[in-house]
Amino acid sequence: MRLYVGCYANDPETLTAAMKGAKGDPRVRIVVNDRPGPTTKADCLNRIYAALCHDEDRTRTRFGSIVLHDAEDFVHPAALALIDRHLRSAAFVQLPVRPEPQAASLWVAGHYGDEFAEAHAKSMVVRNAIGAAIPAAGVGCGFSRDLLAALARERTGRTDGEPFAAECLTEDYELGLLVSRSGGSSRFLRVRDHLGELVATRAYFPGTLDAAVRQKARWIHGIALQGWDRLGWFGGPVDVWMALRDRRGLLTAVVLASAYLLIVIEAILGIARLSGLQVGQPLSPLLSTMLAVSFAAFVWRAFWRFGFTASEYGLAEGFLAILRIPVANVIAIMAGRRALVAYARSLYGAAPGWDKTAHSLHPALEAKGKAA
């Protein structure tokens, strides 16, 4: 195993910390990007890939697989062996992501746990079962060495070229879909260890409203807007349907904003009716039925949001997940607006901006504190 750590020449603090952490271990390779940072994650990965190819040529050995992680990830002890075992029969493997609860941010950081608990216990499991393309999360994902070489050859004409699209804001998501497009096999692995703990990548997600909006705006911009431009619509009916689901972020923001606006309008009209300023009109049978169906659908969704969150984090977090639904909706609305503005600017020639996700905590520090 060799660990490649991507850094920037204009970030001496991170360089110093990386070298201190490596402690001269020959398995750790510090890779310095000569472009001033922050660039996109894909640009940093391309620089790491170039260093990896150089090492292969120099040592005349070839790696079997490549696993991607972010610096703030906490890797499960069984993860690498699990990925390695399944990459013998698949080109791409993805493990679940488990956002860690934060006592200081029950609402903003907490909503990440709700969404990932449901997505990685239901949506991704279903995609894997029906053979649909599996998007990469950018962390806890492994790729066969031959696959990345093939993608580099397709993109640049050379196996030691750049396999990642440096201009893409969600290169991880795109890479997972390109595996399916190239005919490679993918697997989502939801496995528990001997203690019953989920083999997943743990991380602390943003705990402030601004940081969450910036991160989710990048996801919407990259997946819903860039993804449509860059990948188009490919595959059979199942893949097209999944692409529609993946790219619904912007439409969801518009629908949610309209719904909350209607709630405000209805509240104002309700006050007017109570004050005698307006006479209420009876609802038609059709509208009454539509409202009843919509409410039943909301209760159904809230029930499953509770169930998936409670299953992973406990009953208390499950009940909080229901209360956090409006928080998640507000973040989605704000992120959708920000993503649309950024995309409009890119249409007029502006380079897509990279909003680095802010992380103030690391699960390893928590584990160290518990051990002490």
Q: Could you give all domains of the chain from N- to C-terminal order, each with its CATH number? A: 3-9+19-257+315-371 (3.90.550)
Parallel, antiparallel, or unpaired: how do β-strands 97-99 and 201-203 relate? parallel
Side-chain half-sphere CA neighbours of 152 within 13 A = 20
Residue 347 has what pLDDT? 86
In whole angstroms, what is the distance from residue 46 CA to residue 197 CA?
33
Residue 371 has what pLDDT? 56
| Better pLDDT: 232 or 142 | 142
**What is the percentage of the chain residues whose pLDDT exceeds 70?**
95
Residue 295 has what pLDDT? 94
Is the pLDDT at 168 greater than 60? The verdict is yes
| Better pLDDT: 78 or 232 | 78
**235 CA to centre of own chain:** 22
Tokens standing for residue 227:
């993804």
> In terms of DSSP H, where are the helices of the chain?
12-22, 41-59, 79-86, 108-118, 124-130, 145-156, 171-181, 209-219, 227-231, 237-246, 249-274, 285-313, 315-323, 325-347, 363-371
**Quick one: pLDDT band at residue 165, thresholds 50, 70, 90?**
confident
The rounded mean pLDDT for the chain is: 90
In whole angstroms, what is the distance from residue 346 CA to residue 350 CA?
4
Residue 366 has what pLDDT? 67
In whole angstroms, what is the distance from residue 148 CA to residue 175 CA?
9
| Better pLDDT: 37 or 27 | 27
Is the pLDDT at 290 greater than 60? The verdict is yes
In whole angstroms, what is the distance from residue 367 CA to residue 73 CA?
13
- Across residues 141-155, what is the average pLDDT? 91
Is the pLDDT at 357 greater than 80? The verdict is no
Phi and psi dihedrals of 193, rounded to 5?
-80, -175
- Do the beta carbons of residue 246 and residue 225 sit within 8 Å? no
- Helix, strand, coil percent content, the chain, rounded in steps of 5: 55, 10, 35
Q: What's the burial of 56, exposed, middle or buried (CB within 10 Å: 0-12/13-18/19+)?
A: middle
Is the pLDDT at 372 greater than 60? The verdict is no
- Across residues 204-224, what is the average pLDDT? 92
Q: Which amino acid is at 66?
A: I
- Across residues 189-216, what is the average pLDDT? 93
- Across residues 330-349, what is the average pLDDT? 92
Is the pLDDT at 76 greater than 90? The verdict is yes
**Quick one: pLDDT band at residue 369, thresholds 50, 70, 90?**
low
Is the pLDDT at 176 greater than 80? The verdict is yes
Choose the weakest-confidence range: 35-44, 281-290, 343-352: 343-352
- Across residues 73-85, what is the average pLDDT? 94
- Across residues 183-210, what is the average pLDDT? 93
DSSP bridge pairs for 133 = none
DSSP bridge pairs for 142 = 67, 93
